[in-house]
């Protein structure tokens, strides 16, 4: 798939960790303001692929990355790049929520505070706005100073989303973001993705095909570190071109 103005463009990307060649010659474009899902069996490299988008693999030992990842046309693997402004462009929503060890309020305020010194009044407005954005405001407005870990897992995941949105990203990266959640919370998060794609490009790693079907515009199928097929969601799920994709969609490869 090629797009006129891709948000992320991956060119000839290879990732090796130790002797393990995890990603092999990846060339893909991620479209602007669409939901793109990365699907594939466990251990195929889909999470690794997602992590290359904001260089979260930097701290892994023995990792070797070659190739280019262009975010808004800027190669983020250029050794001279300042990484924090790239990471700021992408909100990460991991498998399980990891609230920062501080209050609900401070979780949201953390990002804006490290990127500037906002006034208390502006922060108050921002915190309220972001919590409303993820539908958490009514549930927490009376206990903003309580530790974030007191919230339920589903609430924590929405808090983490709001925390990511508070730094003003352009993109949301979701790494199986609903796999630890109950069905209702999953539903809420999925609805949020649908609402947020008007403003953000969203890339989701998921192993739930029905979820990929519900939320995605495009789907990338990864198998053994290679891109097997990439296309509109409808086509990948209903009319895949490759034999491997057909088998995976039917549930023969797990």
Candidates 6, 31, 45, 91: give the one binding another protein (CB under 8 A): 91
Shortest spacing between CB 154 and another protein, in angstroms: 17
Cα distance between residue 64 and residue 52, in whole Å: 11
Mark out the alpha helices in 78-182 (DSSP H runs): 83-88, 104-114, 120-133, 137-140, 153-165
Would you count residue 170 as binding another protein (CB under 8 A)? Answer: no
Q: How far apart are CA 64 and CA 149, in angstroms?
A: 36
The Cα–Cα gap between 107 and 220 comes to 32
Backbone angles phi, psi at 177, to 5 degrees: -65, -15
Told to check if 167 binds another protein by CB under 8 A, we report: yes
CA 182 to chain centre: 19
Near another protein by CB under 8 A: residue from 68, 87, 207, 246: 87
Residue 164 touching another protein (CB under 8 A):
yes
Q: How far is the CB of 243 from another protein (least distance, A)?
A: 35
88 touches another protein (CB under 8 A): yes
How far apart CA 64 and CA 66 sit, in angstroms, is 7
- Chosen residue from 90, 127, 151, 204 binding another protein by CB under 8 A: 90
Check binding of 58 to another protein (CB under 8 A): yes
Binding another protein (rule: CB under 8 A), the pick from 4, 19, 42, 61 is: 61
Strand partners, 75: 70
The answer to the question of residue 111 lying near another protein (CB under 8 A) is: yes
- Residue 5 or 43 having the CB closest to another protein: 43
Q: Is 179 in the site for another protein (CB under 8 A)?
A: no
110 binds another protein per the rule CB under 8 A? yes
**Could you give the strand order of the β-sheet that contains 35-39, starting from the edge strand earlier in sequence?**
90-93, 171-175, 201-205, 35-39, 218-223, 226-232
Residue closest to 53 by CA, chosen among 98, 23, 80: 23
Judged by CB, which is closer to another protein: 54, or 206?
54
Q: Could you tell me the smallest distance in angstroms from the CB atom of residue 100 to another protein?
A: 6
To another protein, the closest distance from the beta carbon of 224 in angstroms equals 24
**Beta-carbon contacts of residue 232 (< 8 Å; ≥ 6 apart):** 217, 218, 219
Residues that bind another protein (CB under 8 A): 54, 56, 58-63, 84-85, 87-88, 90-92, 94-96, 98, 100-102, 110-111, 114-115, 147, 149, 160, 163-164, 167, 173
């Amino acid at each position: 798939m090629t797009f006129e103005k891709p948000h992320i463009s991956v060119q000839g990307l290879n990732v090796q960790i130790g002797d393990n060649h995890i990603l092999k010659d990846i060339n893909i474009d991620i479209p602007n303001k669409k939901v793109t899902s990365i699907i594939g069996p466990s251990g195929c490299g889909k999470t690794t692929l997602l992590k290359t988008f904001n260089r979260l693999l930097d701290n892994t030992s023995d990792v070797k990355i070659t190739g280019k990842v262009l975010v808004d046309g800027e190669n983020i693997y250029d050794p001279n790049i300042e990484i924090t402004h790239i990471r700021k462009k992408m909100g990460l929503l991991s498998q399980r929520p990891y609230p920062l060890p501080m209050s609900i309020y401070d979780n949201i305020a953390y990002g804006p505070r490290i990127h500037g010194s906002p006034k208390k009044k502006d922060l108050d407005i921002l915190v309220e706005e972001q919590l409303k954005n993820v539908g958490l405001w009514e549930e927490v407005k009376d206990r903003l100073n309580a530790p974030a870990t007191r919230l339920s897992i589903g609430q924590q995941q929405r808090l983490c989303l709001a925390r990511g949105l508070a730094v003003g990203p352009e993109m949301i990266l979701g790494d199986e973001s609903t796999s630890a959640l109950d069905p209702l919370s999953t539903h809420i998060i999925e609805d949020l993705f649908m609402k947020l794609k008007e403003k953000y490009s969203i890339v989701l790693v998921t192993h739930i095909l029905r979820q990929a079907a519900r939320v995605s515009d495009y789907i990338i199928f990864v198998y053994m570190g290679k891109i097997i097929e990439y296309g509109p969601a409808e086509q990948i799920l209903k009319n895949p071109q490759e034999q491997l994709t057909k088998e995976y969609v039917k549930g023969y490869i797990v």
